[in-house]
Amino acid sequence: MLILTRRVGESVRIGNDIKISVLNVRKNQVRIGFEAPADHPVYREEIWVKKQGPDDDAEFEEAS
């Protein structure tokens, strides 16, 4: 895992197509913005986990 420190208004790039920006920080909450092509969906972790079905886990285990 890469860990970076960013301030409000600063960004991180992933490749040429994805930009992640820190929009606001207060107490224990950080607002971040994502700019990515439509073919790169962005999900919150809890939504991504719900979208994964039982078959997806089995396929992942077989591949590893």
Cβ-Cβ contacts under 8 Å for 52 (sequence gap 6 or more): none
The pTM assigned to this predicted structure is 0.72
Sketch the domain layout of the chain as residue ranges. 11-63
From first to last of its 64 residues, the chain has per-residue pLDDT tens of 999 999 999 999 999 999 999 999 999 999 999 999 999 999 999 999 998 876 655 554 544 4
Instruction: Give the per-residue pLDDT at 60.
Output: 46
Instruction: Give the per-residue pLDDT at 53.
Output: 75
**Phi and psi, residue 37, nearest 5°:** -60, 155
Residue type, 35: E
Task: Detail the DSSP E strand segments found in 1-64.
Answer: 11-14, 18-26, 29-35
Give the residue from 27, 24, 2 showing the smallest Cα distance to 13.
Answer: 2
